[in-house]
């Protein structure tokens, strides 16, 4: 039963009892009966006025409560002239003003946070209380190569395998740097925040490829320049002395010196090979800016195939091209792209033992070139080291072939990856922007 109903029942019952008592007590005295009735009437009027004064603040409070329930913080009340009620109204109006300010600030902060997450160069995945994916920003969707809407409200188990195993191993507060397909490097970080009193996790994916490669190139560039300087300073004078000795016939007259001359010639040849070896490294550091022009990729593929046919035939390897009839135009430095394709095909041929296939697949619509081979494939350990300077899986490899390919493709702004997709199917993919 509501308070006002109780009050009305109390007042009605009280005055009915009073009426009955006055009738019983003053039944024989009409004057006193009328006076008593007047007092009862005055009491009823006073009770009604008190009822209105007591109920009005309650009504005001209820209207304010309903407005707060509806999150309508624009409802305010005007003073009534009654001190107690006006105090209540003043407190309520101050509270509503503060709530409105807090809500405005919260909405602005939420809007700013949403914008910050959406435009962030760092990939962000926000999980709900059950560790299901609640939000993925565009950068995370780009890095994971997924459709954001398809993963919403799904478990992290549905993330791509290349990232899943690393993300699953992360605990809140952990950070991990991973390398995918030998080229792309990412920093994964898992953390949490408190939402409505409960902990929720979020995952940040930051691409470090450009920064790491720049620092890496700076380091190995200094090493190569120092090595080249020392080698050239040594080889130059030594070769000059050996050549002078070999050409000075009087030194060899009257002596059986064929063995010594042969040894000197071998030393000269080895020095020349060492000089060539260092030039290969120097070329990696001194790679010029790409002189981009409009070239036909299909024509370039045909040229590279013809150039590498002899090397492929030595191992009975077929070079197969699946390209369109029309031209596939790209903006690139023709000499650098040719060198990159030669290195890729050379590695593919060396990865195949015998009787294999190296296949070019060019798709002009998707702006993509895939060079696939039927070699033994790339292990997980090797995949993490690919494109690393001086790393080679070959016994006598220098470890600069794929590094040079990486530098050329990155100078052009082309995306690329190298991975084994299935058994005896390794693909080097290049996406032309």
How large a percentage of the chain has pLDDT more than 90? 10
Residues in Cβ contact with 308 at an 8 Å cutoff, skipping those fewer than 6 apart: 319, 342, 345, 346, 349
**pLDDT tens per residue, range 153-168:** 888 777 777 677 777 7
For residues 258-263, average pLDDT: 70
Flag the least confident range among 50-59, 159-168, 393-402.
393-402
In whole angstroms, what is the distance from residue 201 CA to residue 318 CA?
51
Q: Longest Cα pair distance anywhere in the chain, in angstroms?
A: 174
Residue 398 has pLDDT above 60, yes or no: no
User: How large is the average pLDDT for residues 18-30?
Assistant: 76
**Banded model confidence at residue 268, pLDDT cuts 50, 70, 90:** confident
Sheet with 368-373, side-by-side order of all strands: 318-322, 357-363, 368-373, 425-431, 415-422
Q: What is the pLDDT of residue 391?
A: 61
* Confidence (pLDDT) at 148: 77
Q: Which residue has the tokens 């997924």?
A: 146
- For 89-99, what is the mean pLDDT? 85
Q: What is the CATH number of domain 120-207?
A: 3.30.450.20
Q: What is the pLDDT of residue 410?
A: 83
Mean pLDDT to the nearest integer, 62-67: 77
Interval 370-387 mean pLDDT: 79
194 pLDDT more than 90: no
Does 361 score more than 90 pLDDT? Answer: yes
**Residue 209 banded pLDDT, cuts 50, 70, 90:** low
Report pTM.
0.52
- The chain-wide mean pLDDT, for the chain, equals 79
pLDDT of residue 369: 94
- Across the range 225-242, mean pLDDT stands at 72
Ordered by start, the domain boundaries in the chain are 3-107, 120-207, 213-285, 293-431
Residue for token pair 């997980």: 380
Give residue 182's pLDDT: 55
Question: Between 247 and 393, where is the model more confident?
Answer: 247
Per-residue pLDDT for 322 more than 70? Answer: yes
The first and second tokens of residue 166, run together, are 């690393």
pLDDT of residue 360: 94
Average pLDDT over residues 184-193: 83
pLDDT in tens, 324-357: 888 999 999 998 899 889 989 998 998 888 888 9
Q: Does domain 293-431 have CATH number 3.40.50.2300?
A: no
Cα gap 425→102, rounded to integer Å: 59
Q: Three-class SS string for the chain?
A: CCHHHHHHHHHHHHHHHHHHHHHHHCCCCHHHHHHHHHHHHHHHHHHHHHHHHHHHHHHHHHHHHHHHHCCCCCCCCCCCCCHHHHHHHHHHHHHHHHHHHHHHHHHHHHHHHHHHHHHCCCEEEEECCCCEEEEECHHHHHHHCCCHHHHCCCEHHHCCHHHHHHHHCCCCCCEEEEEECCCEEEEEEEEEEEECCEEEEEEEEEECHHHHHHHHHHHHHHHHHHHHHHHHHHHHHHHHHHHHHHHCHHHHCCCCCHHHHHHHHHHHHHHHHHHHHHHHHHHHHCCCCCCCEEEEHHHHHHHHHHHHHHHHHCCCCEEEEECCCCCCEEEECHHHHHHHHHHHHHHHHHHCCCCCEEEEEEECCCCEEEEEECCCCCCHHHHCCCCCCCCCCCCCCCCCHHHHHHHHHHHHCCEEEEEEEECCEEEEEEECC
pLDDT of residue 341: 92
């Amino acid at each position: 039963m509501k308070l006002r109903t109780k009050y009305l029942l109390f007042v009605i019952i009280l005055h009915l009892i009073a009426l009955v008592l006055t009738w019983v007590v003053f039944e024989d005295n009409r004057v006193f009966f009328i006076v008593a009735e007047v007092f009862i009437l005055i009491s009823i009027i006073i009770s009604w006025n008190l009822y209105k004064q007591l109920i009005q603040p309650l009504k005001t409070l209820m209207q304010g409560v309903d407005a707060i329930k509806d999150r309508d913080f624009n409802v305010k009340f005007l003073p009534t002239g009654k001190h107690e009620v006006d105090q209540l109204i003043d407190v309520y109006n101050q509270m509503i003003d503060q709530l409105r300010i807090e809500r405005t600030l919260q909405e602005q902060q939420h809007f700013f946070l949403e914008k910050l997450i959406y435009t962030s160069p760092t990939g962000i995945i926000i999980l709900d209380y059950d560790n299901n994916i609640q939000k993925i920003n565009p950068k995370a969707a780009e890095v994971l190569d997924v459709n954001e809407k398809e993963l919403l409200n799904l478990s992290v188990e549905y993330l791509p395998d290349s990232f899943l195993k690393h993300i699953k191993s992360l605990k809140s507060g952990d950070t991990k740097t991973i390398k995918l397909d030998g080229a792309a490097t990412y920093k994964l970080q898992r953390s949490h925040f408190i939402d409505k009193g409960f902990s929720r996790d979020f995952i940040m994916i930051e691409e470090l490829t450009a920064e790491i490669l720049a620092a890496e190139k700076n380091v190995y560039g200094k090493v190569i320049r120092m090595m080249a300087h020392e080698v050239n300073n040594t080889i130059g004078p030594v070769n000059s002395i050996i050549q002078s000795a070999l050409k000075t016939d009087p030194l060899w007259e009257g002596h059986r010196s064929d063995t010594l001359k042969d040894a000197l010639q071998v030393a000269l040849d080895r020095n020349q090979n060492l000089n060539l070896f260092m030039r290969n490294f120097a070329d990696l550091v001194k790679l010029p800016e790409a002189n981009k022009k409009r070239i036909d990729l299909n024509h370039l593929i045909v040229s590279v195939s013809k150039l590498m046919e002899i090397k492929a035939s030595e191992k009975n390897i077929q070079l197969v091209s699946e390209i369109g009839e029309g031209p596939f135009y790209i903006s690139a430095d023709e000499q650098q792209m040719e060198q990159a394709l030669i290195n890729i095909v050379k590695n593919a041929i060396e990865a195949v033992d015998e009787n294999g296939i190296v296949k070019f697949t060019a798709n002009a619509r998707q702006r993509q070139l895939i060079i696939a081979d039927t070699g033994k494939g790339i292990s997980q350990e090797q995949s993490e080291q690919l494109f690393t300077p001086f790393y080679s899986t070959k016994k006598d490899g220098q470890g600069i072939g794929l590094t040079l390919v990486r530098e050329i493709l990155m100078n052009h702004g082309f995306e690329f990856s190298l991975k084994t997709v299935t058994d005896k199917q390794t693909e080097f993919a290049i996406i032309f922007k």
